[in-house]
Amino acid sequence: MEYKRTTSSDGRINPSLIGSSPLGDKCVMLGWSCRASGDDIVGNKWNEISGRVPPQVAERGIPTSTGALTNLGTIRSRGTGYQGCNKPGADQLVGLHAKPSLSHNSMKDSTVVIAFLARNKAHTIPYFLTLLERIRSDHNEDKTLEILKKWLSSLDGYYHSINAELLSSPPERLKDETGPANWPSSRFTHIYAASGGGLNVCKAGMGRLYLDCDVFITNNQTLKILMAKERTVVAPMLKSDGMYANFWCGMTDEYYYHRTDDYKPILNREQVGCFHVPMVHSSVLVDLRRFTSEGLTFVPSNIPDYKGPHDDIITFALSANRSGIPLYVCNDQVYGFVMVPLEQSDTLQHDYAQLTNLKLEVLVENPPLPVNELLSKYVRDHKPDTMGFNAIFMINLERRPERRQRMLQCFRELGIQAFTVNAFDGR
Q: What's the pLDDT tens digit per position in 220-246?
A: 999 889 989 999 999 999 999 999 999
Mean pLDDT of the chain: 70
| Highest mean pLDDT, choosing among 61-65, 112-116, 125-129, 168-172 | 125-129
334 lies in the same domain as 400: no
Give the full edge-to-edge strand order of the sheet including 208-211.
Answer: 208-211, 283-286, 233-236, 327-330, 274-277
20 vs 132: CA distance, rounded Å: 28
pLDDT, residue 324, reads 95
Say if residues 71 and 113 touch (Cβ distance below 8 Å): yes
Question: pTM to 2 decimals?
Answer: 0.66
253 lies in the same domain as 399: no
Say if residues 14 and 8 touch (Cβ distance below 8 Å): yes
In percent, the amount of the chain with pLDDT more than 70 equals 58
pLDDT, residue 75, reads 29
291 lies in the same domain as 394: no
How would residue 298 be classed by pLDDT, with cut points 50, 70 and 90?
A: confident
How would residue 134 be classed by pLDDT, with cut points 50, 70 and 90?
A: confident
> What mean pLDDT comes out for the span 113-131?
79
Q: What is the DSSP letter of 195?
A: I
299 vs 117: CA distance, rounded Å: 17
Higher pLDDT, 164 or 201: 164
Question: Which residue, among 404, 383, 402, has the nearest Cα to 393 in the 3D structure?
Answer: 404
332 lies in the same domain as 396: no
298 lies in the same domain as 385: no
AA letter at 271: Q
In a domain, 348, yes or no: no
> What mean pLDDT comes out for the span 374-399?
91
30 vs 105: CA distance, rounded Å: 31
* Beta strand ranges found along 139-229 (DSSP E): 163-165, 208-211, 215-217
pLDDT, residue 406, reads 94
* Distance (Å) of CA 298 to CA 174, 200, 204, 277: 21, 10, 17, 18
Higher pLDDT, 89 or 167: 167
Counting the structural domains of the chain, the total is 2
pLDDT, residue 321, reads 94
In a domain, 67, yes or no: yes
> What mean pLDDT comes out for the span 167-172?
50
327 lies in the same domain as 427: no
pLDDT tens digits, 311-342: 888 999 999 999 999 999 999 999 999 999 98
In a domain, 370, yes or no: no
pLDDT, residue 382, reads 84
AA letter at 206: M
Longest dimension (CA), the chain: 77
29 lies in the same domain as 161: yes
195 lies in the same domain as 310: yes
pLDDT, residue 380, reads 84
How would residue 137 be classed by pLDDT, with cut points 50, 70 and 90?
A: low
Burial status of residue 220 (CB atoms within 10 A of its CB: 0-12, 13-18, 19 or more): middle
pLDDT tens digits, 44-65: 222 222 233 333 333 333 333 2
Q: Of 283, 315, 338, which residue is a domain's last?
A: 338
Check pLDDT > 90 for residue 26: no
Cis bond upstream, residue 171 (ω within 30)? yes
In a domain, 347, yes or no: no
Q: Of 314, 338, 362, which residue is a domain's last?
A: 338
Check pLDDT > 70 for residue 387: yes
399 lies in the same domain as 313: no
In percent, the amount of the chain with pLDDT more than 90 equals 37
Give the full edge-to-edge strand order of the sheet including 13-19.
Answer: 13-19, 2-7, 163-165, 92-98, 112-118
In a domain, 344, yes or no: no
162 vs 27: CA distance, rounded Å: 14
> What mean pLDDT comes out for the span 165-185?
51
List Cβ neighbours of 141 (8 Å cut-off, separation of 6 or more): 120, 172, 180, 348
157 lies in the same domain as 264: yes
**Domain hosting residue 389, numbered range:** 381-427
What helix, strand, coil percent values describe the chain, rounded to 5? Answer: 25, 20, 55
In a domain, 193, yes or no: yes
Q: What is the DSSP letter of 119?
A: S
| Highest mean pLDDT, choosing among 45-54, 289-298, 395-404 | 395-404
248 vs 178: CA distance, rounded Å: 28
278 lies in the same domain as 409: no
pLDDT tens digits, 197-210: 445 544 444 567 77
User: Out of 224-233, 288-297, 384-393, 408-417, which region has the weakest mean confidence (pLDDT)?
Assistant: 288-297
89 lies in the same domain as 206: yes
Check pLDDT > 60 for residue 101: no
pLDDT, residue 252, reads 95
pLDDT, residue 136, reads 58
Higher pLDDT, 59 or 281: 281
In a domain, 9, yes or no: yes
Q: Of 312, 338, 364, which residue is a domain's last?
A: 338
List Cβ neighbours of 371 (8 Å cut-off, separation of 6 or more): 126, 127, 130, 379
pLDDT, residue 245, reads 97
Higher pLDDT, 382 or 79: 382
Higher pLDDT, 219 or 81: 219
> What mean pLDDT comes out for the span 56-84?
31
In a domain, 398, yes or no: yes
